[in-house]
Structure 1
Amino acid sequence: MSSVTNSDALVGRPIPVWDQNTPSQASDHAKANGNVVRTRFPPEPNGYLHIGHAKSMNMNFSLAFEKLGVAPENRETYFRYDDTNPEKESKEYIDSLLNDLTWLGWKPAKTTYSSESFEFLHDCAVKLIKKGLAYVCFLTKEEVEKQREVLKKRVAVIAKGGDPDKQCESVSTDIFPGKYRNTSIADNLRLFEDMRKGKFPEGHCTLRMKMDITSPNPNMHDSMAYRIKYTRHPHAGDGWCMYPSYDFTHCIIDSLEGIDYSICTLEFETRRESYYWLLWALDLYKPRVYEMSRLNIAHTVLSKRRLLKLVESKTVRGWDDPRMPTISGLRRRGYTKECLNTFCNDIGATRNMNLVEVNRLEQAARVCLADVARRAMAVVDPVKVTISNFSGESKTCTVPNFPQNPALGSHDVIFTPTFYIDSADVKPEADANFFGFAPTQLVGLKYADIKVRCDEVKVSGGKVVEVTCSVTDEDTKPKSYLTWVSAVHNIPCEVRKYDHLFSVPEPSDKWEEEVNASSEVVYSSALVDPSVASLCNAGLTDKWKSNNAFQFERIGYFVVDDDTTYVAETGKGKIVFNSIVSLKEDVAKTTKKDATASAAADAQRQRQAILKARLSISKSDFFKKVSDYAGMFSKYDEEGFPTHDAKGEEVKKSAAKKLKKELAKHEKALANAAKAKK
């Protein structure tokens, strides 16, 4: 690729032989692409895009080319719907993906669907069968799981230099290597055609790739290529009753579309072997694969499964709830495309796994909104104030729309002797460290050019309900100038203030119990000055675009919500505002953040200590000595794997599956520790 000036920028782990293009493949690709360097963004339409996808878009549409040194005129990115699982996909999700991509400002060179290549994928499967590299398998799900357990044990013995035929328990050849693995090519072609014609029940059989069952990589243990699903496809329609798997599809489509760099996240790193093996087996062009770290943001989750559960359980208002990390949720919260793209540029893309603090996203919002969010005065939790000696009925005050840029104009608000301030600006007793309304305290009223001294603060039921004050012309300068909203000239509104969706920085497996019950607080009696009326009209809101945002002076940034029904011409209906971000991190928030960071650091140190201690525990003792499993099990098999829980009941298959994953992690940690010692 002559257009790349820094070819070492995106280099992944080599896979000898399989990842190499033949001279003719490289030549054909170079002729087809010319000077173009092509990437792709291939989400599955099984949910809404989230901020992790925003990072991926930023990488595939921009940052990758910057790292590679590709000139703008030579850049191409395909937007591909990776739509091979019709049970979880829908037209709603398909539309949402395109809307979010468009809103963020990315312009793909081409939009494609994997489903539009189903015929080509089918032909590839037939080619594999003819080469003796794929077979129709009738093993049940339970039998396949048993087969994978056997393969895992045999691979472990081989890795230690042992003889698996002698050291592993004997199993039926139906399971290992599998009674369907050596079916004739002619029979496999006939059976695969029967699958396509719908002659088998759903789930009755699959097409599996005949890969390498001795490989230490489980992804090479005859991965599934096709499965039967009698489900209508939301894009392809009714033409198919069997569908290709992700592992079979994405590498073939990458090759078919002439992708130069296939960029994914690190959890796909173990699929490099299967990715390149399949392209090698099919004699297809092989793109370069690069894995980057997945985005992890504190106090949130980015798993589509978990996000879907939040929606289905009505924990949130929907996929576009302002607390959700989805692009739709962030847009509704008031984050603009500039905010998100600035954030993605700031964090960059590396292979280092880390937890990104929310304040980095918040700061990006402050920077981007400062010059575009028009000023207004509002009170979230109103307290009535009356001036006892005000001369006249009202006073017109001029307020700049953007104080830092007078050229952008101003608006008028009317001051009256009765007005409202926010409850946060009142205390029932004088306090030398408090500069708002308190008995005998001097306060300035912003834009009204008036100084008042607080005479009385009325309290009812422990809550401040009213303030009385008087105008003073004394020379003393007030320590604060407060914002206000006239009691006569105002617009009632609803303000929704948002906090983290989760109460802990890193939600655990018990994440549903860690949802922050105070993540949304609704103030239904808020008031805003009337100057915003024309900009808050319900006709201006659009769920797929950014609604108007304001800086409520001294409070923070707020955006008009889609639930707004207000009609400026009639003055009827309701305005709803969502909090975006505070003007700056105040002392209380900073202290809270520091405490959270300290707690997170302590938790990290504890985790590291626990992991270090675990390295002294053998595989066979893992579930007996690790504190997480203390008292959970009463019986174990000969290898120390739990078979019965504390009550004496057999461990369920679903629980055993999770336990096996944890044991695999422990085995990997032990192996890495052993390598490090060497």
Structure 2
Amino acid sequence: MPPALSPELEELAAFFQRCGLTEQRATETARSKTAPAARDLFSSANLDNAPLDDKQGALVLQLAKDGAKLSPEAKLYVVNAIREGRLLKSDQITGKSRATLSRARTAVKYLGATVPPVDDTAFDQACGVGFTITPAELDDRVRAYLDSPSNADQVKTGWTGISRVTGAARQSDALQWVNPLELKAAVEKAYTERFGSKEEATKKAKAQAEQAKKEAKAPKASTSAAVAAPAAESPDDMFATGWLSRLHKPGGNEQKYPERMKEHLAWTGGKVFTRFPPEPNGFLHIGHSKAIAVNFGYAKYHKGHCYLRYDDTNPEAEEQIYFDKILENVRWLGYEPYQITHSSDHFQELYDLAVLLIKKGLAYTSNDTAEEISAQRGGKDHGPRHESKDRNKPIEQSLAEFADMKAGKYEPGQMVLRMKQDMESSNPTMWDIIAYRVLSKPHHRTGTEWCIYPTYDFTHCLCDSFENISHSLCTTEFIGARTAYEWLCDALEVYKPRQSEYGRLTLEGAITSKRKLLKLVTEKHVSGWDDPRLHTLVALKRRGVPPAAIISFVSGLGVSVSASLVQISRFDQTVRSHLEMTTPRLSLVLRPIKVTLEGLPDDYCIEVEKLYHPKDPSMGTVKVPFTREVYIDEDDFRAEASKDFFRLAPGATVGLLNAPKPITYLSHETDPTTGKVTHIVCRYEADAPASLKPKGWIHWVAKSAAHKSPVEVHETRLFSRLFKSDNPGALGDKYLEDLNPDSLSVVKGALIETAVWDVVKSSLRRAKEVVELRKAEAAKNGTEAPPNVEGLEVVRFQANRVAYFCLDSDSKVEENEDGSVGGGELVLNLITSLKEDKGKKA
């Protein structure tokens, strides 16, 4: 349950109710980020004294959110147009549906480009107020659109390009407010006049598709991949061998209606088309990285295309941040969608097909309760099944009740639409599953236009069909759903994609259940969805795990039908291997102890030159100060010598990494209260022969005011496993009892060498260069440039003899006017530990 409203928010929610919003919508609005803008607009329009109905109020809320740049007078004009019933749909306000995304003529855009006073007639025309059109007028406008020279290249492709032409026509000024189904029929009519029947055209297209398949002998990269695409060690392995290599070729999925395959190949040209279809009701996790790599990678390998399709059919669970982060995650992993689509793009088509299913006698409305439906399916005891009392009601009655559902005459749970399948089947997905239900919450894209929403089982296969998906790839928990998937496509006589299932990725120690993750976040067991101890993609990103390492990990596992619990050590090793050769090395002292070197003058200071990476000289070198005062880590000193300890101790001589000569212990001081060592005095062995080889070497940083050395780290965050067991997800609701209380350790006051600023500068510069490359690639392809999806986590380095670290987003980096970086507050995250050799000495 959401937390109770504060007194201030309760007062605000009451205000919105007085303005006409329902209690639920008023409460949601009071909690939202739009609340201040909505309050100001509702107040200025005096809606608390002259309330609107709830649907009109929802349109005003949309105006408050999307019309922030309008003048107060313009906003009030739109509110009055809503009150007068001139503006009835969300499309008329800001054009949220895919068909209106590129239109310049909606209320907000029109008024944003208009100098007062507003011409009512021009405004109404721009916003489709009172729009009507006769069939003859529609035919004339379609012919005029097709005859336009600017559309010649699209039109000349004939039937193969009709979907694109129809979609573009819906965005034209002359046709933008036409009913989509009526427009589709008019375009098909015009195409038949110009190019003959679709059946004749598909015969020719089939021959072309066969030729295209012959020419595509060697799989190559997709044109839709981002410039910064991930580079796995063997990125094509999982597509060239194993389960994915044995999938059907385009056109190889059998159809009950063969003409559907002809149309499909005519549209795709024989190319592979896949989709990544996440539900925008949570953050993606490590398991989704496999789905992304499989769907985008398979299309890329076969020179095809992959959609990012949001399965947004449940507005009760969807939030804008999930949409934003899903796209960010896909781009972060190195992929660029062929198109970004939504299931809601097809709400009208889906509704029309549901009506058709009823007319075919294959769907019926039912007021059965959830308990009654469960009993019909055998109940908890898996007893005998029986049909619903509504299963054989007259088709006309179901049509009328379905129309009433759409009109908002039923509350949630009072009426559903069920598919009439096979109650005798052994497959539960064929037991008259629900196709449509009533939901009271408005949709983020369609507003209050719909109060009924299709279920996943009704939507998914049809959207795959609409988008001409050649390979519908999903995880094995959907094997049972394949029967219903194919049944519905055949029942509606549409193109039937082939669903193929692979084993899901589960990582040892990781929780991937959205419900369980939500509880961890809301009950503050973790700091948020991006807490680096989680395995959401936003958390892995914040922890500094390179996206290329994730793709390499998935590729290395391969793809099969078997689900497996992968050891976390295998994931860590993949990340470690990637970082080993791609990150510079710096000296970081986590828990510093001051060491004074006797034998050196107080002002002694030399610069020691060292490689950023001893195995890769191309990374360059850096000079660090070496002075009379240095700091070492407390783990590198013991107050009592022992035979198995080869670092600094009484009587020991050790080497300082990259320093000219070794040092020998003389004495140390301790804090009288805590007993901790606070100061060590050593002798600098300036005259030691070159042949002297200490048994142990330790890292250090020097104190030098002239070099502003060392740099103090505000916080160093060390992470270990969040859960004690390997499979906390198997513990049910007891998983919280498995939390590791020591999963986070915060170290204050660590010291790092000054070269960290050069690493910060170069890392951020490279990230910016990648952004520019991505923009150039987008300009070349004529597509929208993807935004920068990287953050401070791109600053990664190996701390000598400690671990791999990155900058956390809580860091504050100060950039100078010349582009240099020389200050700020550093917060470090542990990415992963160093690999320890089994025989390594202490």
TM-score > 0.5 by shorter chain: yes
Q: CA deviation at 1:568?
A: 5.6
Q: Distance in 1 between matches of 2:379 and 2:682?
A: 82
**Alpha-carbon spacing, 1:76–1:152, altered in 2? closer, same or farther (3 Å):** farther
**Alpha-carbon spacing, 1:402–1:21, altered in 2? closer, same or farther (3 Å):** farther
Contact (CA 8 Å) 1:39, 1:260: kept in 2 or not? yes
**Alpha-carbon spacing, 1:584–1:271, altered in 2? closer, same or farther (3 Å):** same
**Alpha-carbon spacing, 1:589–1:117, altered in 2? closer, same or farther (3 Å):** farther
User: Which of 753, 756, 759 is matched with 1:529 structurally?
Assistant: 753
Q: Distance in 1 between matches of 2:684 and 2:621?
A: 26
Counterpart residue number, 1:596: none
Q: CA deviation at 1:416?
A: 2.0
Residue 469 in 1 paired to residue 682 in 2? yes
Contact (CA 8 Å) 1:12, 1:289: kept in 2 or not? no
Q: Distance in 1 between matches of 2:306 and 2:537?
A: 20
Counterpart residue number, 2:359: 130
User: Which of 541, 546, 549 is matched with 2:796 structurally?
Assistant: 549
**Alpha-carbon spacing, 1:12–1:393, altered in 2? closer, same or farther (3 Å):** closer
Aligned residues: 561
Q: CA deviation at 1:210?
A: 1.0
Secondary structure, aligned partner of 2:794: coil
Q: Distance in 1 between matches of 2:790 and 2:320?
A: 16
Secondary structure, aligned partner of 2:417: strand
Counterpart residue number, 1:48: 283
Counterpart residue number, 2:147: none
Q: Distance in 2 between matches of 1:551 and 1:97?
A: 30
Counterpart residue number, 2:597: 387
The one-letter code sitting in structure 1 at the alignment partner of 2:364 is Y
Q: Distance in 2 between matches of 1:581 and 1:153?
A: 48
The one-letter code sitting in structure 2 at the alignment partner of 1:136 is T
Contact (CA 8 Å) 1:536, 1:575: kept in 2 or not? no
Q: CA deviation at 1:56?
A: 0.8
Residue 490 in 1 paired to residue 719 in 2? no
Unaligned runs of 5+ in 1: 156-163, 165-175, 591-678
Residue 106 in 1 paired to residue 317 in 2? no
Unaligned runs of 5+ in 2: 1-208, 218-239, 768-787
Q: Report 1 or 2 for greater relative contact order, CA contacts < 8 Å, sequence distance ≥ 6.
A: 1
Structure 1 length-normalised TM: 0.78
Residue 506 in 1 paired to residue 724 in 2? no
Counterpart residue number, 2:8: none
User: Which of 409, 423, 433 is matched with 2:620 structurally?
Assistant: 409
Per-residue displacement from partner, 1:508-550 (whole Å, max 9, x unpaired)? 2221111221111110111111121254479989874442111
Q: CA deviation at 1:388?
A: 2.5
The one-letter code sitting in structure 1 at the alignment partner of 2:718 is K
Q: Distance in 2 between matches of 1:224 and 1:230?
A: 17
Secondary structure, aligned partner of 1:177: coil
RMSD over equivalenced CA pairs, Å: 2.7
Counterpart residue number, 2:637: 426
The one-letter code sitting in structure 2 at the alignment partner of 1:224 is I
Q: Distance in 1 between matches of 2:288 and 2:316?
A: 22
Q: Distance in 1 between matches of 2:667 and 2:805?
A: 32
Which stretch of the first structure deviates more once superposed, 277-286 or 234-243?
A: 234-243
Contact (CA 8 Å) 1:291, 1:351: kept in 2 or not? yes
The one-letter code sitting in structure 2 at the alignment partner of 1:470 is R
Secondary structure, aligned partner of 1:121: helix
User: Which of 579, 585, 595 is matched with 2:830 structurally?
Assistant: 579
Which stretch of the first structure deviates more once superposed, 556-565 or 146-155?
A: 146-155
**Alpha-carbon spacing, 1:561–1:65, altered in 2? closer, same or farther (3 Å):** closer
Per-residue displacement from partner, 1:546-574 (whole Å, max 9, x unpaired)? 42111111112110110002426596642
Q: Distance in 2 between matches of 1:134 and 1:114?
A: 21
**Alpha-carbon spacing, 1:20–1:588, altered in 2? closer, same or farther (3 Å):** farther
Contact (CA 8 Å) 1:384, 1:466: kept in 2 or not? yes
Secondary structure, aligned partner of 1:212: coil
Contact (CA 8 Å) 2:255, 2:261: kept in 1 or not? no
Q: CA deviation at 1:587?
A: 4.3
User: Which of 344, 349, 352 is matched with 2:554 structurally?
Assistant: 344
Contact (CA 8 Å) 1:151, 1:214: kept in 2 or not? no
**Alpha-carbon spacing, 1:143–1:12, altered in 2? closer, same or farther (3 Å):** farther
Show the 5 A alignment for 1:32-47. Answer: 32-47=267-282
Per-residue displacement from partner, 1:248-282 (whole Å, max 9, x unpaired)? 10011111111111111111111111111111111
Contact (CA 8 Å) 2:475, 2:504: kept in 1 or not? yes
Q: Distance in 1 between matches of 2:545 and 2:764?
A: 20
Residue 315 in 1 paired to residue 525 in 2? yes
Secondary structure, aligned partner of 2:334: coil
**Alpha-carbon spacing, 1:205–1:363, altered in 2? closer, same or farther (3 Å):** same
Contact (CA 8 Å) 1:12, 1:291: kept in 2 or not? no
Residue 518 in 1 paired to residue 742 in 2? yes
Residue 61 in 1 paired to residue 296 in 2? yes
Counterpart residue number, 1:266: 476
Q: CA deviation at 1:586?
A: 4.9
Per-residue displacement from partner, 1:378-430 (whole Å, max 9, x unpaired)? 11121222222223432211121222232332122112222211122111211
Q: CA deviation at 1:83?
A: 0.8
Counterpart residue number, 1:561: 808
**Alpha-carbon spacing, 1:447–1:12, altered in 2? closer, same or farther (3 Å):** closer
Q: Distance in 1 between matches of 2:735 and 2:839?
A: 26
Counterpart residue number, 2:398: 188
Contact (CA 8 Å) 1:376, 1:552: kept in 2 or not? yes
Show the 5 A alignment for 1:131-170. Answer: 131-149=360-378, 153-154=382-383
Per-residue displacement from partner, 1:134-160 (whole Å, max 9, x unpaired)? 1111112222222223597455xxxxx
Q: Distance in 2 between matches of 1:10 and 1:450?
A: 59
Q: CA deviation at 1:10?
A: 6.6
Secondary structure, aligned partner of 1:366: helix
Q: Distance in 2 between matches of 1:573 and 1:458?
A: 32
Secondary structure, aligned partner of 2:429: helix
Per-residue displacement from partner, 1:599-629 (whole Å, max 9, x unpaired)? xxxxxxxxxxxxxxxxxxxxxxxxxxxxxxx
Structure 2 length-normalised TM: 0.63
